[in-house]
Amino acid sequence: MTARSASANATQARWLGVVLFVVAAGLVAATAVWVLRHAHTEGSQFGAYDLGVHRAAARALVHGEPIYDRFLTPVAPYSYPPIAAVVAIPLLAMPLSAERWLWMLVQLASLGVVAYVSAAAIRRRRPDMATVVAVLLFAGVVATLPMRSSLRDGQVNAVLLCLIVCDVLVERPRWPRGLLVGIAAAIKLTPALVIVYWLLTDRRRPALHAVYTFAALTAVGFLTFPRLSFDFWAHHVTSPSEGIALDATDNQSLRGVAERLTSEHAVLLWVLTALVIAIVGLLLARAQWRRDDDVAGLAIVLLTAVLVSPIGWIHYGVVFILVGAVLMRDAVTGRAHPVVLVAALVGLEAALLFDIPRVRAPHLLRDVTQNWFALVILVSIVALGVRRMADRRLSTPESAS
């Protein structure tokens, strides 16, 4: 490569970086306007929905009251393990009015860490583009409906995603790999599918660390609150949807899809389809890992977990940041035609921006619109799993350390 062509490429990279930063700034600005508008119209309820449920459970725990009372709060029952209520006790240290804004910052910081870690492969190949890609990933996901819903309701998904991504994708963690996944699974059971993914990819040590951590935290719950723990694991873990309308359009899991399609055979349809999707998703994830693509493998696993769980709220879709990371990495490193990848990125962003499940559609289209995010998840799993991979190695496989 001549000095002139190298200079031209550097100039193009700089201009591309400027354009991407402008796009990212526009997305963040639009999201900020959305947050301020809804905070004004919704008042003290904005950012406090799910956060209020966790606070109510922590308060009930402190006062020795039942936390699985369906009338614990007027908005939703508490459906997490007792240890999650223990972790939520520090939330009582400050008023909800201030805490909801602090929690929004925690969610945004967690998403920023996810964007930074998932762009690691780009930093190895194109360090000049890594920061731009991480910023665009962050901005793109912040603007989507899943993350806006998470901010509006005070959800925990971005924080749990941060724990999982750091545990799986950080190359040389300073903690025993598996520790953070175990913590996430103890708080919310769906991350436990990552343990199965590790076992399928011959990473037994981190899988065991996760199991040990999960078991230890669960044991703490039994030792400190035996009756509540027994109540959860004997009853509520098998019926986490008690008091919740499973056919609500916010529930984009296969169970929600089945309930909307047929109320008579919903459970059977959900079990059969979830079993098939779980097996296919895990096999596709293992295939990606064998091709040295742990980012795509983890994305498939987490998207699969959202689909097969009984409840998969729209805000669980924050995991789409990993799909964006794979597409942007392939675009920057030249693993596929850039026009195709840019079109895929724009299409994915457009598919996640709007509340399509609540759109009033004609009868023939209603089954599509009401299950929109479930369809996008399914398409993403298939697209990530079967896309053609370049022969050159992208990264070193995660060790089992």
Q: Is residue 1 part of a domain?
A: no
Q: Is residue 2 part of a domain?
A: no
* Tens-binned pLDDT, residue by residue, of the chain (401 aa): 565 554 555 565 566 667 777 888 889 899 999 999 988 898 888 888 888 888 888 988 888 888 887 667 767 778 888 898 888 898 898 898 889 999 999 999 999 999 999 988 788 777 878 888 899 999 999 999 999 999 999 999 999 999 999 999 999 999 999 999 999 999 999 999 999 999 999 999 999 999 999 999 999 989 988 888 888 888 777 665 555 778 889 999 999 999 998 878 888 999 999 999 999 999 999 999 999 999 999 999 999 999 999 889 999 999 999 999 999 888 887 777 778 888 899 999 999 999 999 988 887 788 899 999 999 999 999 999 987 544 344 444 444 44
Q: Is residue 90 part of a domain?
A: yes
Range of the domain at 26: 20-386
Going from the C-alpha of 85 to that of each of 115, 213, 257, 297, the distances in angstroms are 28, 17, 30, 31
Q: Is residue 362 part of a domain?
A: yes
Could you tell me if 328 and 122 are in contact, meaning their C-beta atoms sit under 8 angstroms apart? Answer: yes
Q: Is residue 3 part of a domain?
A: no
Residue with tokens 């040389």: 172
Q: Is residue 9 part of a domain?
A: no
The total of structural domains in the chain comes to: 1
Q: Is residue 7 part of a domain?
A: no
Q: Is residue 11 part of a domain?
A: no
CB atoms within 10 A of CB 265: 11
